[in-house]
Amino acid sequence: MNQKIYPESGVELTGFTAKNYDKLLNIGSFGFYPGFIKKVVRDMEIKPDDKILDLGCGTGRNAEIICAYLGEKGRITGVDISEHMERQFRNRFNNEDRSEFINRRIDIPFTLNKAYDKIFISFVIHGFPHEVRETIIKNAYNHLVPGGRFIIFDFAEFDIEKMPGLYRMVFEKIECKYAFDFIKRDWKEILAHYGFTNFFEKLYMKNYIRLLSARTQ
């Protein structure tokens, strides 16, 4: 897919960026990202037998780290619409029976006819209009086992006007317009509206980044 569905979104990657995403992310984070995401995945408290769905999985880099925590009965399923990402994901998991890739949009209702223990979405949901985010939340809830967890790794809630000047400049420079809306919303309240409960959160990077976990009833 070479044309964006949401032209103003910053999370739909095409062309050169999609083909070289991991390298660009390493450069953009000054080499910080690989170690950082390992710490985040460790904080997810993955169990060996977990069945995990990774929405907007990209190249499978995060999924590969998650897979290292899974036992023989565990499974990681990546979902993405990008053919570039699918190719990289499949190459990464070429000899891994505990993984699968599904080429599908996450921004519209879908049914996989499976239920998962955990559903993970990393720096994707902020890049959509809010009504689309609500569809993603519904998709997650409908694909979790009772007591399963929806885990959002993304921006925390904060007042951009109170950010230090350099941080604010970077945020305004690189983020799409939807991110500015995302950081203003009460995400626990939103998730509770759709039936989620028992929230857990962990903050990183001066409280601007958050791992937010919520359980189905």
Q: How confident is the model at residue 69 (pLDDT cuts 50, 70, 90)?
A: very high
Beta strand 51-55 pairing with 116-122: parallel
CA distance between the termini of the chain = 36
Whether the predicted pLDDT of 14 surpasses 90: no
Summarize the confidence of residues 53-79 as an average pLDDT: 97
Mean pLDDT of the chain: 94
Domains and CATH numbers, the chain: 15-216 (3.40.50.150)
Distances (CA, A) of 115 to 6, 68, 78, 112, 130: 28, 21, 14, 8, 25
What's residue 161's pLDDT?
95
The pLDDT-based confidence of 214 (bands split at 50, 70, 90) is very high
Residue 99, token pair as written in the block:
């993984």
Q: Write the DSSP symbol of residue 176.
A: -
The residue type at 188: K
84-110 pLDDT, tens digit per residue, is: 999 999 999 998 999 999 999 999 999
Q: Which residue has the higher pLDDT, 176 or 16?
A: 176
d(CA 100, CA 35) in angstroms, rounded, equals: 24
pTM of the full structure? 0.94
**Is residue 1 pLDDT above 70, yes or no?**
no
pLDDT recorded at residue 2 = 59
Q: What share of the chain is helix, strand, coil (3-state, %, to 5)?
A: 40, 25, 40
Counting Cα atoms < 13 Å in the Cβ hemisphere of 203 gives 6
Q: How far is CA 31 from CA 17, 152, 173, in A?
A: 17, 23, 20
* DSSP structure string for 126-174: GGS-HHHHHHHHHHHHHTEEEEEEEEEEEE----GGGS-HHHHHHHHHH
Element spanning 66, H or E: helix 61-67
Give the per-residue pLDDT at 142. 98
Express each pLDDT in 133-183 by its tens digit.
Answer: 999 999 999 999 999 999 999 999 999 999 999 999 999 999 999 999 999
Residue 217 pLDDT grade (very low, low, confident, very high; cuts 50, 70, 90): confident
